[in-house]
Structure 1
Amino acid sequence: MKHFINKWYRNHALVYKVLLFLCTTFLIVYLFPKSGKFKYSFDKGKPWQSENLYAPFNFAIKKSLDEIEDEKNDIIKNSPVYFDLETNIKDGVYSAYDLKFKETFTDSILEITSVDLYAKGKSVLKLIYKYGLLDDAYNYAATKDVILLENQVEKRRTTFNNLTKNDSFIRILEQNFNAKGNQRFSSEFVSLFFDIVKPNLKLNEVITDNALKEDLDNISPTRGSIEKETLIISKGEIVEADKFEILKSLESEYASQVWNASNYNLVIFAYALLVALALLMLLLFLRKYRIDVFLDNTKVTFIFFNILLMVFLTTLIINYDSKYLYVIPLCILPLVLKAFFDARLGLFAHVLTVLLLGFIVPNSFEYMFLQIIAGIVTILTVSELYKRANLFVSVGQITLIYIIAYFAFYVIHEGNITNLKFETFGLFILCGLATLFVQPLIYIYEKLFGLVSDVSLLELSDTNTKLLKELSNKAPGTFHHSLNVANLAEASANEIGANSMLVRVGALYHDIGKMKNPTFFTENQSTGINPHDELSSRESVTTIIDHVLNGIEIAKKNNLPDRVIDFIRTHHGTSLVYYFYSKEKEINENTNQDDFRYIGPKPFSKETAILMMCDSVEAASKSLKEPSSTKIDKFVEAIINKQMEDGQFLNANITFKEIQSIKKILKNKLANIFHLRIEYPE
C-alpha cells in the first residue's frame, strides 16, 4: 500500500492531467446535443457533390420559415372578427324614438309634415341599425370579415365597412335630411338622436382570439412527404429551391429523431471519442512544443477551462436562439492564450475549439471558416496587448473580417444581396465590443490562476514601483546597472523576436537580492572601502552567491510573478565566481570548483539566456580601459563564448544565429555607451 501511495505521489501531476482530460471531455459531451447528424453538406444553388441520395426512411417535407410566416399573415388578415349583437337595445331605441319625437315636434309643424318627418327619422334609424352600431372605434380593414353573434350563436356575416361606426350616425342623419330639403329640422333630429341612439355591437375578444389561435395552431408545418427509397437528388444535380427544402427536411429529421437506448449510448460514445481526440492533440502539442506549459498543471487547467467556457457559451446561445451565434466573442480565446503564453499555442487551441463547435452549430462549414480566419487575424494583428490603441485597432480589423467573410458567403449562397440581413452585421459589431472585455478578463485570470500577462509586466516595468524605489535607495549602483541591462536586453530581444517586455522586467528585478548587502558589490562601493578585504574567499563567495537566494525571497515576499522570479534564479546559471575561486586556489591547490559556482538553474528560455549575456557584458564592461571598437568586439565575444563553452545555454531554446545577433546588438550598444567616435584627420 505504501509503495502504491509513493508511486501515485511521484506521478500525481500525470494523474491530475488524466482526470482533467476526462472531466473536460465529459463536460463538453454533456453540453453537446445528443442526436444524429446529417453526414452530407450542401449549399443552395450549388451542385450535389455526393453520390445519389435515396430517402433512408419516410419523412415529411417541412415548410420554410418564410412559408409558415406567410401563412400566418394570411390567416391573421382573413380571420373573422366576432361582435356580440344586443337586439333589445335596438327595440328600446325605436320605442324611445316614438316618445322623444312627440315631445320634440308637438304643435310646431303641420300634421302632414310631422308624419313625413317621423318616417324619415325612422328610416335613418333603420340605416344605423341595419347591421348594428359599434360601441367603440375599431381599427379593422373595410373588407375584414365580421360575424355577428346573438347569445353566442352566429346570426349574420358581413364585412366591417357595413357596420355603423360610433361617430358616423350623425353624418348619416345630416346626409338624409339635407338631401330631402328639410335642413331646418336637422339640428332638432341631431339632438333627438344623441339622446336615444345607443350602440348594440360589442367586440367579443375571447371568441375572436380563440378563433385566430385555433386557425394558427392548425397551420401544418409540412407540405407533402417523401417515401423511403425515393430518389431525392442525383450526383451533380443543382440544389434548387424544392430540392433544398427536401434536404433541409431530411437533415432536420436526423437531428430530431427519437433515439433508442442503444443508439443514444452509441452517439454519446462517438462524441466522446472525437472530443477526446481533439483534447489529446492539444496535450500532445503541449508535450512536444510547450513542455514548460505541459508540466505546469495550473496552466493546463487554464487552457482547458477557456476551451470549455467557449463551448458552454456557444451551446447556451444555440439553445436560446442560434441567430445570435456570432455575438459570442470567440476570438477572446486566442487573445487570452497569446497574452499568457504565445501566438502558436493560442491559434492551435482556437482551431481545436472551432472544430469542436462545428458539431453543434448550424452552417458548420461557414461558421468554422469565419472563426478560423478571425482567429488567424487575431494572432497576426494583436501585438503588445498592454497598449490600448493596439487592441481597439485589432478588434476593428477582426470585426471587418467577419463582415467581409459573411457577405461573401451570403452572396455565394443566395446569388444576390437583395435580402441581405444587415442585423447580422450588428451582431458582428456586438461581438467586437464584447472582445474588448479581454482586458478585465486577463486581470481576473491573473488573480485566479496566478499567471502574468504583458499588461502586468508593463506595470512592473515602472521604475516608480515600491520595490524598484527601494532598490534605487539602498543600492543605487545596482539600480543603475539594472537599467543598463534592461536596455541592452530589450534591444536584444527585439532583434531575435523574443518577449522584450518580459526580459526588460526580468532585467530590472534580477539583482534585487543585492539590497540585503549592497556594499559587498562593487557598483555600490562609493567610499572606496571593500568589505571583502576583511573576509576569506569562501565567505565572500557565499555572500556573492546568496544575492540570488535573497532576491528570490524578496521577490516572493513582494508577490512578483514566477516568470519574473525565473530571471533572478537563472541570471548567473551555474557560472563560476572566478575572482574568488582564483584567489582561493592560490591558497589551496585542491579547491573544489563547485564550491564557487552559483546554484543555478541554467537559463531555460530565450529571454533568460538574453539576460545572462547582457548582465555579464554590462557588468564586465566597467573594467574596460580606453575602450575601442576592436576591444569591445573582442570583449563581448570572449564573455559570451565562455558562457557557451561552460554550457550555460544548453537548456535554452536559442540558436547560434540568434546568439550572433545578440552579440552584434551588444557591441553596437556598448559602442554608443562609451561614446566611441571615428577619428577624423586634423
Structure 2
Amino acid sequence: MKIQTGLNRIQAFLGTKVFNTLIFILLALLLFGVLYQNIKPQTYNMELFSVADKTVRSPKTIEDQAKTDEEKQKAALEAGQVYTYNKDMVYNRVSLINSIFDFVVDINQNNSAVSNNTDQKKKSPTMSEKLSRLKTSLSANVNENVTKSLPDDIFEGLLEADNNELEQARNIVINQIEFFMNDKIRENKVLQVKEMISDKIDHYNLNGSLRRSAVELGKYAIVPNDLYDADLTAERKKEAMDNVEPIKILQGQVIVQEGQLIDRETYRQLELLGLLTSHQSIKPFVGLAVFVLLIIGGLYIYFAKMRMPEEKKQNELLMLSFIFIISLILMKIVSLTDDLNLPEAAYIFPAALAPMLLRFLVNERFAFIVTIFLAACGSIVFHDEMAGTINVEMALYILFSGTAGILFLTNQKLRSNILQSGIFISCANVLVIFFLILIGNGQYNKMEYVYYIIFAFGSGILSSILTMGLLPFFEALFGILSTMRLIELSNPNHPLLKRILTEAPGTYHHSLMVGNLAEAACEAIGANGLLARVGCYYHDIGKTKRPHFFIENQLNIENPHDHLDPETSKEIIIAHAVDGAEMLREHRLPKELEDIAEQHHGTTLLKYFFYKAKEKDPHVDEESFRYPGPKPQTKETAVISIADSVEAAVRSMPKPNADKIKRLVNNIVQDRLEDGQLNECDITLKELEVIKKTFCETLNGIFHSRIEYPNEKNKG
C-alpha cells in the first residue's frame, strides 16, 4: 500500500505546506540528534580583561550576526527616502481647470440664448441662479468637489466675464499651471509655488474680479506631484540591507594571540564561537546547528524550485527522508567499529547506497545532491575523535564512492546491472583509498593494506546488495513507477496483456503499433518513451469487455453497430475508457497507466455516431457524444492520444504513401488543437512539430512502398 494512504489524513488536517514543513523540521531534528555526540568543541577558561595564555583560532566559519545587523542598519539609514514624480498630475490639474472654464462658458452661452429668445419672453437668470447652476455642474459625479474649496466670489468673477476674457484667463492659468507643475513639487514647497503662480498671474492684464478668480484657480491647481513613496523607500532600504555582506569570523582566523589582553570585542567573539568554558552549556553546538541548517535549507530550496505536482513532490521528500535516515543510521553503526581496533573500518560504510537508490527512484541530479550532503555528514561522524575538526578524507571517500554509484548505474532497465555497478564501485573505492594513502605518504604494514582493500571492496558490494533489497520496498511503499517496473509490466505474459491478446487480438496489434509510434515521439521530445509504450499496451484494456464492438476485432463478422441506435453505440464505445481505468485500478496497476487509459481520448467527439444521430434528430446534444475525459494531463498521454488516432486512420487508408500520411497526421494534430484537447498538458507547438515528423518517419517505415510482382495473368 502506498505511503500516502496512511498519511492522507494527517496531510488533510495540516495542509500540504505545513505537512512538508513538519517533515523538514523532523529531519533537521533527527540529523542534529544523530550528529550531536560527534561534536565536542574545545573550550577555554578565559576571563574578560585577562591576558590570554595561548593563541586561540576560530575552529569554524560563522557569521557575526551583531556586526552584520549593525552594518545593515547603517546601510538602511544611508539609503534615504524615495519620492515618486507623478507626470499625470499635470494633465489632471489642467483638465480640472479646463473643465471649470468649460462649464462657465456653457452657462454664459445658455444665458445668451435665453436672452435672445424674445418669443418666449424669458428673463435673463440672475447671478445667484447662474452660480447655483455652475456649482451644481461642478459637484455632480466628481471625485473632487471644487465648490467646497473655493469661495463663491471666485466663480462669480468668472461668470461676470465675457467669452474673450474667459479664454484669455484660461490660457494664462493653464500655461502657468503647466509651467510650474512640470517641475517636481513636494509637500513642503506647495505654498511657495502657489505664491509664485499667484505673482505670475497677477501681472497679466485682467480685470479685477477675473484676475482674482484666475489667481485663486491657479493656486488651487497647484498640488504636490513629487510624493513620498513608502513602499519604494522600504524596498530601497531592504535592498541596501540585503546587499550588505555578512560579517563572518573565518575558520582558522586568530581570535586572540598569546599574551594579548582579552578586550570586550575579543571576549564577544570567543563567546559567539562557544569557546568559553563558562558558556559551554548555552552554545556548545552552534556549528552543528549551522551545518544542519545548510543541509535542510539546501533541500528546501531544491524542493521549492521543483516543478511537479504537490503529491509527487511530497512522495520524493518522504523518500529522501527515509533513505537519508537509513544512511545516517548505517553511518553511526559503522562508526562504532572504532572500538574493534580495526584500522579504518569506517571505509566499510556503504556510501553508494543512497545515491544508487535515488538514481533509480528519482534522478541523477537529486542523487548527486544527497551524495554531497552525506559526504558532509560523514566528515563529522568519522571525525577521529578530534575536537573541532572534520574528516576530509572520509568526506572525499563518500563523495567519490557515491558519484561512482551514480555514474556506473547507467542501465536502469536491468536489475543485474546493480550488482555489476557494485563491482565497479568497489574498484573505484580501492583506487580512492590508495589515493588517500599515497598522497598522505603514511607508513602502513601489509595487513593494514589488506584491511583497506577488504573494507573498500566490501563497501561497493554491500551498497549494491542493500540497493537490490531496498529498491522493491521503496517502489511498493511510494508507488514508484520505475523503469524496471515498466519492463515487468510490458511482459506479454502479464494477465491483462494475455487477456487482450486472446479476447481482442485486433486491439492487441493496434496497441503494439500505437506503442511504437508513441515511444519514438516521446523520446524525440524528451518525454518518457518507455512509459508511453507500456501505457499503449494497456490503454484499450477496456475493450476486452465488449471486443466485437470495436472494428479492429471484427474479423469476418458483421458489425453489431449496424443493428444498434447511435446512442447505444456511443455508450458502448465511450465506456471502454472508463472500464479500462477501472480494470487497471482493480488490478492495482500504477496510477500513470490508469490515467493514460482514462485520458487518452480526452473529451473528443464520436463524430461517426454523432452525425448518424443527427440525421434522425437535428437537435441532438453534441456534448452527450463526447468522451467524459479528462483531457490529457501529461505529454506522454497527449502523444498516445494523437498516436491512437493516427494509427487507426492510417491503417484504414487505402494505399498509404508519404504525402497521404503527412496530410493525415497534420489534420489530426490540428483537429486536436482546435478542439482544445491539448490545453491541459504542458506540450508545446515546437514539440508537436517534432511529434508529427516522428510519426511520419515511423509510419513511412511501416507502410513503405512494395514492389508489385506480376500475377499469373500477366505472365507471358
For normalisation by structure 1, the TM-score amounts to 0.61
In the alignment, residue 325 of structure 2 is paired with which amino acid?
A: L
Q: Is residue 2:452 matched to residue 1:435?
A: no
Deviation at 1:677, TM superposition (A): 4.6
Query: Which one of 353, 367, 388 corresponds to residue 394 of structure 2?
Result: 367
Change (3 A) 1:411 1:11: same
Deviations 1:220-275 (A, max 9, x none): xxxxxxxx9549xxxxxxxxxxxxxxxxxxxxxx99x9977x64553456534542
Distance 1:509 1:356 in 2: 45
Shift of 1:519: 2.0
Any conservation in 1 of the 2:375–2:398 contact (CA below 8 Å)? yes
CA 1:653/1:339 → structure 2, altered by over 3 Å: closer, same or farther? farther
Partner of 1:476: 505
Contact 1:275 1:356 in 2 (8 A): no
The alignment partner of 2:412 has SS state of coil
- The normalised TM-score by structure 2 is 0.58
User: Is residue 625 from structure 1 mapped to residue 628 from structure 2 by the alignment?
Assistant: no
Q: Deviations over 1:52-77 (max 9, x none)?
A: x96339xxxxxxxxxxxxxxxxxxxx
Residue 336 of structure 1 deviates from its aligned partner by 1.8
Distance of aligned partners of 1:317 and 1:510 in 2 relative to their CA distance in 1, 3 Å threshold: same
**2:369 aligned to 337, 348, 361, which one?**
348
The runs of 5 or more residues in structure 1 that have no matched partner are 1-5, 40-52, 58-227, 232-253
Q: 1:54 to 1:677 in 2, by over 3 A?
A: farther
State the 1:305 CA deviation.
Answer: 0.8
SS of equivalent residue, structure 2 residue 604: coil
| 660-669 vs 518-527, which moves further | 660-669
Match of 1:29 in 2: 32
Residue type at the aligned position of 1:421: Y
Cα distance in structure 1, aligned partners of 2:443 and 2:696: 62
- The amino acid of 1:346's aligned partner reads A
The one-character-per-residue Cα deviations of 1:513-539 (angstroms, maximum 9, x if unpaired) are: 111122222111224423333444343
Q: 1:588 to 1:335 in 2, by over 3 A?
A: farther
- Within 5 Å, which residues of 2 pair with 1:42-191? 55-56=55-56
Deviation (angstroms), 1:410: 3.2
Aligned to 1:432, the other structure's residue is in SS state: helix
Is the CA contact (8 Å cut-off) linking 2:350 and 2:459 kept in structure 1? yes
1:436 alignment partner, SS class: helix
CA gap of 1:338–1:586, structure 2 versus 1, over 3 A, is farther
2:346: which partner in 1? 325
Deviations 1:101-151 (A, max 9, x none): xxxxxxxxxxxxxxxxxxxxxxxxxxxxxxxxxxxxxxxxxxxxxxxxxxx
What CA distance in whole angstroms lies between the structure 1 residues aligned with 2:519 and 2:646?
A: 14
What pairs up with 1:226-237 in 2 under 5 angstroms? Answer: 229-230=257-258
Q: In structure 2, do the counterparts of structure 1 residues 280 and 290 end up closer, same or farther at CA, with 3 Å as the change threshold?
A: farther
Match of 1:612 among 641, 646, 664: 641
Give 2:421's aligned residue. 394
Contact residue 35 and residue 259 of structure 1 kept, 8 A: no
Q: Which residue of 2 aligns with 1:334?
A: 355
- Given residue 546 of structure 1, which amino acid in structure 2 is its aligned partner? A
**Distance in structure 1 (CA, Å) of the matches to 2:391 and 2:640:** 47
User: 2:435 aligns to what?
Assistant: 408
Deviations 1:481-512 (A, max 9, x none): 11222222333344444433322221111111
Q: Secondary structure at the match of 1:369?
A: helix
Change in 2 beyond 3 A, CA 1:10/1:448: closer
Query: Corresponding residue for 2:405?
Result: 378
* CA distance 1:406–1:7, shift in 2 (3 Å): closer
Q: What does 1:431-580 align with in structure 2 at a 5 Å threshold?
A: 431-437=459-465, 438-580=467-609
Corresponding position of 1:125? none
Match of 1:275 among 281, 292, 299: 292
Range with greater deviation from structure 2 (329-338 or 602-611): 602-611
Conserved 8 A contact 1:457-1:502: yes
**SS across alignment from 2:56:** coil
Rg comparison, structure with higher value = 1
Name the amino acid aligned to 1:551.
G
8 Å contact 2:635–2:683 — kept in the other structure? yes
2:666 corresponds to which of 637, 640, 651: 637
Alpha-carbon distance between aligned partners in 1 of 2:566 and 2:304, rounded to the nearest angstrom: 44
Which digits, 9 at most, give the CA deviation of each residue in 1:348-377, with x for residues without a partner? Answer: 333334344444333543333343344344
In structure 1, distance between residues paired with 2:657 and 2:613: 33
Structure 1 residue identity aligned to 2:665: V
**Helix, strand or coil for the counterpart of 2:410?**
coil
For the residues of structure 1 that align with 2:37 and 2:514, how far apart are their CA atoms? 59
Residue 625 of structure 1 aligns to a residue whose secondary structure is: coil
Deviation string, structure 1 residues 566-594 (Cα, Å, up to 9, x no partner): 32223223333333334444555555544
Q: Distance in 2 between matches of 1:630 and 1:549?
A: 36
The one-letter code matched in structure 2 to 1:306 is I
Tell me, in whole angstroms, the C-alpha distance in 1 between the residues paired with 2:326 and 2:649.
Answer: 51
Checking the alignment, whether the CA contact within 8 Å between 2:423 and 2:461 is kept in structure 1 is no
Secondary structure of the residue that 1:529 maps to in structure 2?
Answer: coil
Contact 1:29 1:268 in 2 (8 A): no
Separation in 1, partners of 2:288, 2:349 = 23
Q: Which amino acid aligns with 1:379?
A: I
Match of 1:19 in 2: 22
What is the rounded CA distance, in whole Å, between the counterparts of 1:513 and 1:267 in structure 2?
A: 65
Contact kept? 1:35, 1:264, Cα under 8 Å: no
Distance 1:391 1:269, change over 3 A: same
Q: Distance in 2 between matches of 1:453 and 1:302?
A: 14
Distance in 2 (CA, whole Å) between partners of 1:423 and 1:644 is: 66
- Does residue 453 of structure 2 align to residue 425 of structure 1? yes
Query: Which residue does 1:309 correspond to in 2?
Result: 326
Tell me if the contact between 2:38 and 2:381 (Cα under 8 Å) persists in the aligned partners.
no
Which deviates further from its counterpart, 297-306 or 588-597? 588-597
Contact in 2 for aligned 1:520/1:531 (Cα 8 Å): yes
Mapped to 1, the partners of 2:599 and 2:409 lie a distance apart of: 30
**Partner Cα separation in structure 2 for residue 370 and residue 655 of structure 1:** 44
For 1:178-327, what aligned pairs fall within 5 Å after superposition?
Answer: 229-230=257-258, 263-264=280-281, 266-267=283-284, 271-272=288-289, 274-292=291-309, 295=312, 297-321=314-338, 323-327=344-348
Moved more, 651-660 or 661-670: 651-660
How many residues of Structure 1 are paired with residues of Structure 2 in the alignment?
472
Residues 435 and 663 of structure 1, relative CA distance in 2, 3 Å threshold: farther
Which sections of structure 2, spanning at least 5 residues, go unmatched?
1-8, 43-52, 58-255, 260-272, 384-389, 710-716
Match of 2:65 in 1: none
Contact 1:628–1:676 (Cα < 8 Å) also in 2: yes
What SS is found at the alignment partner of 1:316? helix
CA distance in structure 2 between the aligned counterparts of 1:596 and 1:267, rounded to whole angstroms: 72
Q: Is this contact kept in 1: 2:570–2:606, CA < 8 A?
A: yes
Structure-2 separation of matches of 1:641 and 1:577: 17
Write the distance in 2 (CA, Å) between the matches of 1:350 and 1:293.
24
Q: CA deviation at 1:296?
A: 5.5
CA contact (8 A) 1:293 1:300 kept: no
1:661 aligns with 2:690: yes
Q: 1:278 to 1:457 in 2, by over 3 A?
A: same
Deviations 1:18-56 (A, max 9, x none): 3222222222211113465679xxxxxxxxxxxxx9633
User: Aligned-pair distance for 1:548?
Assistant: 1.7
Deviation at 1:554, TM superposition (A): 0.9
